[in-house]
Amino acid sequence: MAPTDGRFEHRRAPFREPGRRRTILQERWLLRLFEYGVVAIVVAVLLGLFLERSEEVRAEAERLAMENVVNELRTALLLTAVRADGGLIKAPKELRAGGNPMKLLDRTPGNYLGIMTDPDPNSISGGHWYYDQQEEALVYRAARSDRFQTALPGPPRARFRVMRFSPGVDPKGILPTSTGPPVEYALLPLEPYHWRR
């Protein structure tokens, strides 16, 4: 119907049922809840993957840190033995079978606890070095027990000892004997150990 005065007649919106509007809002709300649920599941899966990967990275970092200290000790032991054999220095008391090789370093690692007499490995927190005076062994207490395997009973740890042997003879098949000066001292593990990846 066209108005006679030139204006359009106001038309009412078609009648909607009151329950229908509520149903549309409920459907939208349920859809949003579903979307939030999917987002939460995706975030939880990604977080789980991140945490698993970060544990692997931490275990690898611990393994590399331990091997780095062992290599530093072997280098210090070799250099001290060569300098003592060449008469450049007086052989320190640590340069003997069963000596504490940490004393040969200019600076000990921050996680070295020092010399201990008859220590209880259960009371030592993981990720630390200590020298067991009774056993004459340098011990590393592993922090990641699920990634470290050894034949030792109790908490996971690796024990090393300075050993002396005749020149040209390699007691455990680790050291090169064909090149360089004869090596008479070596830092060797007392038991085999393995880092799982």
Give the DSSP letter string of 18-30.
Answer: HHHHHHHHHHHHH
Which residues are CB-contacts of 166 (< 8 A; sequence separation ≥ 6)?
184
Q: Which residues are registered as beta bridge partners of 194?
A: 149
- Alpha-carbon distances, residue 3 vs 10, 12, 14, 129 (angstroms): 10, 15, 20, 98
Which residues, 6 or more positions from 128, have their beta carbon under 8 angstroms from its beta carbon?
A: 111, 112, 113, 140, 141
pLDDT, tens digit, 9 for 90 and up, residues 139-195: 999 988 888 888 888 899 999 999 877 655 555 555 544 454 455 788 889 999 988
pLDDT at 86 exceeding the cut of 70:
yes
For residue 161, the model assigns a pLDDT of 92
Q: Residue 47 CA to chain centroid, in angstroms? A: 19
| Bridge partners, 130 (sequence order) | 139
Q: What is the DSSP code string of 104-150?
A: GSSS--TTEEEEESS--GGGSPTTEEEEETTTTEEEEE-S-TTTEEE
Q: What angle do CA 147, 109, 59 make, to 5 degrees?
A: 15
d(CA 82, CA 91): 10
| Model pLDDT for residues 45-71, shown as the tens digit of each residue | 888 888 777 788 888 889 999 999 999
Residue 113 has pLDDT above 90, yes or no: yes
Tell me the C-alpha distance between 104 and 79, whole Å: 10
Distance separating alpha carbons of residues 182 and 180, to the nearest angstrom: 6
Residue 191's pLDDT is what?
A: 92
- In the chain, the N- to C-terminal Cα span, in Å, equals 83
Give the global pTM. 0.67
Q: Please give the Cα distance from 128 to 143 (Å, whole number).
A: 8
Q: Which of 51-65, 69-83, 86-100 is predicted with the least confidence, judged by mean pLDDT?
A: 86-100
pLDDT of 111: 92
Interval 2-21: pLDDT, tens: 555 655 555 555 555 555 56
Contact yes or no for 81/184 (Cβ under 8 A): yes
